[in-house]
Structure 1
Amino acid sequence: MMIKERINKLRNIMKEKNIFAYIIPSSDYHQSEYVGDYFKSREFISGFTGSAGTVVVTQEEAGLWTDGRYFIQAENQLKNSDIKLFKMGEEDVPTVEEYLVDKMPNDSKLGFDGKVICTKEGEKLAKKLEFKNVSIEYSYDLIDSIWEDRYALPSKPAFLLGTEYSGASFSEKLSRVREVMKEKNATTHIITTLDDIAWLFNIRGGDVKSNPVVLSYAVIGLNNVYLFVDDSKLNNEIKEELSKENVVIKPYDSIYEFVKELNENEVVLLDPNKVNYAIYNNISSNIQKIEGTNPTIMFKAIKNEIELENIRNSHIKDGVAFTKFMYWLKNNVGKIEISEISATKKLEDFRRQQDKFIEPSFDTIAAYKEHAAMMHYSANEESNYKLEPKDLFLVDSGGQYFDGTTDITRTIELGEISKEVKTHFTSVARGMIRLSKAKFLYGCRGYNLDMLARGPLWDLGIDYKCGTGHGIGFVLNVHEAPNGFRWRVVADRDDSCILEEGMVTTNEPGVYIEGSHGIRIENEIVVRKAEKNEYGQFMDFEVVTFAPIDLDAIDKDIMLKDEIDYLNSYHKNVYDKISPYLNEEEKIWLKEYTREI
């Protein structure tokens, strides 16, 4: 009932303002994938808690668009809400644009908060609806009018990430950005994405749970720099570092007025996929704009040697935490009460014991039995299963450390499983191994290699409705563009670039059988150079994740010899790297779980 009431209240305000349809996306003012509580308007209006989705409310109906990761979850959470689920990418399902083109009457008005819709999307909608003479109203955050106890904007302090971790100073990074600006003949560059700003300024913070970023905007000139941020978040160490480049600190919200005052001689570089519609429309139409990707996106994706060394360190610690957890789980399930939620807390406890740990890198997915068929399942008090000594338990988790960001998934057999489930598990492991072993010529993209991971599953007539892997930030967002693995290019996902040396990507094939079970095995891999010869520069991967892959669930008979050899070699590495940090009982257990098969 609460959701219906909220939608009715929204419709009343829409009527007052003569708005026929109103869009509520998942993003904040910075097009972030994960957002702080203040920005969870889509969740507030729909009750759907997934990280991705868009709600459209018209005077007559309401719909939610989300992707394959969330179909099962969305169906459950939208029950009795009168909000229709639109399964993105499925046959005969209209996109948000197609839906609006169909539903909007001539001469009507479309509304959205221009701060939470990117320029490209706003312009696309305006263009598509032009033939109906639909006007765009982007100056109102209508959700704010009905969200009485809305959260405040976050105010956690920021911290400086020293060059012993980042491997390059703010000044060095700034000069690289300015070089690209000069190449493009730009005099001003507007950056609004939080991870790009955090990377460039070597600042981290706590404004988005699990994503150590600071709410901010940046305007880079050839001779000046402006940072729009709540000044109270910056300590003296940060201010001293920024003063080396004469950074001018301005109030967070003042960017909107600031861009109105830009000199008309400026040439502004900006990314219309990132800069919000309100900022773009506040820039004088007389100012020349160069639309292009932020240079920082590629810079931060290619990790330097110091970052890579730190990443390796953080993964050893993370592997120790996960191995201790797996030992504890295997030895206690059925003897003490363990639930999805208590297992999550136990794993976090093991991580908190590790040096330089900050926080989890995302909300842990701890999913028992059929819950694991929901790719992004999140246990709550109502859904919280008790674990028993049978079936599979999927745990997808990670940590933010001062020396790296981790993301690891293991599916653990808690007791007897069927032959079919064992076949599924082994096929997932085989896919993960095949991609890990890939050797390829420079110039390949993720979609050239994705079939290696999917092949064993496609042989069974099975697929998974998501990519095989995503880029990972350095003490930053756990999902980072522009590298990834996916079997085809998806227009709105920037994850199909050429794989460059130093890029870190996850390798995580899976099986998701609704109502039955889910399996995912995930390691992080780093692109590196192999030999160079008359055929070109060959590349391969270094695996940086170390934790056992559950041999209890492996059917050796369906594996190829080279896959078995790889698994045995990988497990030898796991034992060598992780065992020095374990007690004697854990070491004995790990020896058994990394044995040759």
Structure 2
Amino acid sequence: MSTYEDRLKALRDELARRRLDGFVVPLTDEHMSEYVGAYAQRLAWLTGFQGSAGSAVVLPADAAIFVDGRYTLQVREQVDGALWQYQSVPQTSAAEWLGAHAGSGARIGYDPWLHTKDWVVQATRALAASGAELVAVDTNPIDAIWPDKPQPSAARLVVQPDDLAGRSSADKRQTIADTLTEAGADAAVLSALDSIAWTFNVRGADVDHTPVALAYALVHADGTADLFVAPEKLDDSVRQHLGNAVRVHDRAAFRPALASLAGKSVIVDPERAVSAIFGTLEEAGAKILARRDPAVLPKAMKNATEIAGHRAAQARDGAALVRYLHWLSIEAPKGGLTELSAAAHLRALRDETGVLKDLSFGTISAAGPNGASPHYSVTEESDRRIEPGTLYLVDSGGQYQDGTTDVTRTIAVGTPTQEMRTRFTLVLKGHIALARAVFPEGTRGGQLDTLARQFLWSHGLDYAHGTGHGVGAYLAVHEGPQRIAPVGGAYVGGDEPLRAGMILSNEPGYYKAGEYGIRIENLILVEPRDVAGAEKPCLGFETLTFAPIDASLIDVALLDSTELTWLNAYHAQVLAIVGPRVEGEVKAWLGGACRPLGE
């Protein structure tokens, strides 16, 4: 179908054939993944939206697309406003909008393999108020009208060896088994792809930028497990690695396996498992314990081996980024670079490490006004020249077998304005405040979020995204449950207590629509912190990312002595860690970029 208008009409025709008056289209897959395989990109195919979070609703005469503050600008650039109404989350939601727009007697379809049970409850309630009905579909109507829909990946699984994982799969399964025993449960459903990869010490290539494989698992209270994955994705080395305690089945056997759990007590995560899993277990007569996936917390708390691997990955990745920043300092002022060509060069420098597996997400290479969209994704159509007198924001990362990286730097091309310098420095002050934070055990990410925003707030400024997300160990670049963000609304995870071993991002920003964007991002590790006289155990952060922060954008007069001390000490660490990994002109440039300020 040649146009998005044609696709929307085809969907409406298909819904009419099915006697449905509407349909909900989320951007996710059967595993509630943030990043999904090409086969699950139904929202992008239908609307043109290329962001990583959103949903849409189609009615006979109306259609709406729902995105949060990260995508307010992007959705207007990519999605036709003549076809779709733009809606902002969390101010409104698809369920609320449906309740207001679906008429009495309307039958609104949804795919139960693409929504959580809680969403179904909320949408059902919202529709009932207007006399409408939510209807589960057996097959997704978009799949019926998508003529060249990609097939799921056939990539094979690979083993993540114990010397990089730090724990054996048997040990991890025993940890889960102990959790099940304490909860009085017989089994746990694992449907989140990164939980499965972590639990079984395997990785895959079924989702861009996230090394996971399409699979489901049941882990039992005796430490054994059933793994449901396409058999052609396993070779003898993976089967040997899994061992006799892991029974392997075709992925298609997962639903019948759920149906066989009659009378069993089963832990299912309401945040990560789709409605269809709950429905199948309920129909089978299983006792459902709605609790967090038991792999989530131990996965988030990195062991010593994973932390060591992450440090090695960061040093390697930092050297590639420093080479890029040096190259940018020479080429960008000439005015010949574009967002795409710059991103391609950064990818090439990471490839030169010889051990890059993939990027950890699509590089955000944003020049000038494109930087004002926090999750901007450059395309051939949007590709902008990097011009002198503007800011260039580059948010990027790599997937290495020993660690996952994520770093943002904002670069002044030419001479920045005083406004740019002031606002960059306010962002930097927030970044430093969070990096220096010391806090008692039990502190939640939401309690720390204000530290990063306080200086912007004092100037009547803010940013419409969380300050920090969890990061996996050669896994998802966005990992729960930890997060540094306001509690409530779209910021799921801000009320999670931070624990030693968790890795998060520290990325405050500022965005001026139509002009520029600013973000400074390092990864940080939660670690125990000795505090003289403390009456309870305390924690703090170790900064893990090492790359210079653009000194031309820093107004030193706005920094106090402790902030300046932190900044100069940080740049000394950059020189010590990355300096030995670069040579010649790059090394000389790095020395200048890390020179002490204010002395």
Task: State TM-score, norm by structure 2.
Answer: 0.96
The answer to whether the Cα contact below 8 Å between 2:70 and 2:465 also exists between their aligned partners in 1 is yes
SS in 1 for 2:537: strand
Match in the other structure for 2:453: 454
Question: In structure 1, what is the equivalent of residue 542 of structure 2?
Answer: 542
Within 5 Å, give how 1:32-47 maps onto structure 2: 32-47=33-48
| Unaligned ranges ≥5, structure 1 | none
Residue 355 (structure 1) shift: 4.6
Note if 1:422 corresponds to 2:416: no
* Partner residue in 2 for 1:583: 583
Displacement of 1:486 in angstroms is: 1.1
2:441 aligns with 442
Q: Secondary structure at the match of 2:416?
A: coil
* Cross-structure match for 2:257: 258
> Any conservation in 1 of the 2:485–2:493 contact (CA below 8 Å)?
no
Task: Please state how far the C-alpha of 1:564 moved relative to its aligned partner.
Answer: 0.6
C-alpha separation in 2, matches of 1:525 and 1:251: 39
Code of the residue aligned with 2:13 in structure 1: it is N
1:539 CA displacement? 1.1
Give the drift of 1:57.
Answer: 0.4
1:454 maps to a residue whose letter is R
Give me the whole-angstrom Cα distance separating, in 2, the residues matched to 1:123 and 1:307: 39
- Structure 1 segment 206-217 matched on structure 2, within 5 A: 206-217=205-216
Match of 1:219 in 2: 218
1:591 & 1:478 partners in 2: Cα distance?
30
Corresponding position of 2:565: 565
Following the alignment from structure 2 to structure 1, what is the Cα–Cα distance between the partners of residues 303 and 199? 14
1:89 and 1:222, CA in 2 relative to 1: closer, same or farther beyond 3 A?
closer
Q: Contact 1:158–1:234 (CA<8 Å) still a contact in 2? A: yes
- Listed one character per residue, the Cα deviations across residues 229-282 of structure 1 (whole Å, up to 9, x for unaligned) are 11221222211111242x1211112212221222x2211110122221222222
Which residue of 2 is the match for residue 477 of structure 1?
Answer: 476
The residue type equivalent to 1:328 in the other structure is: W
Would the alpha carbon gap of residues 204 and 81 (structure 1) be closer, same or farther in structure 2, given more than 3 Å must change? farther
Which piece of structure 1 moves more, 490-499 or 68-77?
490-499
CA distance 1:253–1:163, shift in 2 (3 Å): same
RMSD: 1.5
User: Does 2:58 match 1:57?
Assistant: yes
Bigger mean CA deviation after superposition, 177-186 or 103-112: 103-112
Q: CA deviation at 1:437?
A: 0.6
Kindly indicate whether the alpha-carbon contact (under 8 Å) linking 1:481 and 1:495 is maintained by their aligned counterparts in 2.
no
Cα displacement (A) at 1:342: 0.8
Instruction: Tell me what 2:235 maps to.
Output: 235
Contact conserved, 2:26 with 2:114, CA < 8 A, in 1? yes
State the SS of the aligned residue for 2:529.
strand
- Aligned residues of 1:4 and 1:81 also touching (Cα < 8 A): no
Q: CA deviation at 1:105?
A: 3.0
Q: CA deviation at 1:414?
A: 1.3
Q: Is the 1:343–1:366 contact (alpha carbons within 8 Å) kept by the matching residues of 2? A: yes
Q: How does 1:155-166 map to 2 (within 5 A)?
A: 155-166=154-165
AA aligned to 2:576 is D
Matches of 1:235 and 1:202, distance apart in 2: 15
Secondary structure of the corresponding residue to residue 333 of structure 2: coil
Instruction: Give the match's secondary structure for 2:49.
Output: coil
CA distances 1:571-596 after superposition (whole Å, capped 9, x unpaired): 00000111111112111111111011
Partner in structure 2 of residue 334 of structure 1: 333
- Determine the C-alpha separation between the residues in 1 that align with 2:62 and 2:126: 21
Q: Please tell me whether residue 551 in structure 1 is matched to residue 551 in structure 2.
A: yes
Q: Deviations over 1:387-430 (max 9, x none)?
A: 23332110000000010000000001110111011101111111
Q: Contact 1:46 / 1:81 at 8 angstroms: preserved in 2?
A: no
Matches within 5 A, 1:260-409: 260-262=259-261, 264-285=262-283, 286-335=285-334, 337-409=336-408
Q: In 2, Cα distance between the equivalents of 1:130 and 1:388?
A: 54
Query: Cα deviation per residue 1:10-41 (whole Å; 9 max; x = unaligned)?
Result: 11121122211210100101000010110001
Deviations 1:436-462 (CA, angstroms, capped at 9, x unpaired): 011111111111111111111111110
Partner of 1:108: 106
CA distance in 1, matches of 2:316, 2:164: 16
> Deviation string for 1:362-401 (max 9, x for gaps)?
0000101111001111122222122233321100000000
The answer (yes or no) to whether the contact 1:216–1:228 under 8 Å persists in 2 is yes
Q: Which amino acid aligns with 2:42?
A: S
Deviation of the 1:99 alpha carbon: 1.6
TM-superposed CA distance for 1:491, in Å, is: 6.2
CA distance in 1, matches of 2:345, 2:388: 18
Q: Tell me: CA distance 1:504–1:551, structure 2 relative to 1, closer, same or farther (3 Å).
A: same
Report SS of the residue matched to 1:136. Answer: strand
Distance (Å, rounded) in 2 between the aligned partners of 1:530 and 1:284: 46
State the 1:326 CA deviation. Answer: 0.3
Taking the aligned partners of 1:244 and 1:433, their CA distance within structure 2 comes to 50
Equivalent position amino acid for 1:570 in 2: Y
- 1:144 maps to what in 2? 143
Query: 1:54, CA displacement in angstroms?
Result: 0.7
When residues 376 and 539 of structure 1 are mapped into structure 2, their CA distance, relative to the original with a 3 A threshold, is same
Asked if the contact 1:126–1:136 (Cα under 8 Å) also holds between the matched residues in 2, the reply is: no
Map 1:56-205; keep pairs closer than 5 Å: 56-90=57-91, 94-130=92-128, 132=131, 134-205=133-204
Following TM superposition, by how much is the alpha carbon of 1:312 offset from its aligned partner in structure 2, in angstroms?
Answer: 0.5
Which one is further off, 231-240 or 569-578?
231-240
Letter of the 1:359 counterpart? D
Q: What is the CA-CA distance between 1:284 and the residue it aligns to?
A: 4.1
TM-score normalized by structure 1? Answer: 0.96
| Separation in structure 2 between the aligned mates of residue 123 and residue 375 of structure 1, nearest angstrom | 32
| Matched letter for residue 69 of structure 2 | G
How many residue pairs match? The answer is 592
CA distance in 2, matches of 1:510, 1:59: 40
Q: What SS is found at the alignment partner of 1:333?
A: helix
Q: Which secondary structure state, in structure 2, belongs to the residue aligned with residue 334 of structure 1?
A: helix
- Cα distance in 1 between the residues matched to 2:337 and 2:60: 47
Residue identity opposite 2:22 in structure 1: A
Cα deviation, 1:189-224, whole Å, max 9, x if unaligned, reads 111110100110111110000000000000122244
- Counterpart AA for 1:281: G
Q: What amino acid is aligned across from residue 69 of structure 1 in structure 2? A: R
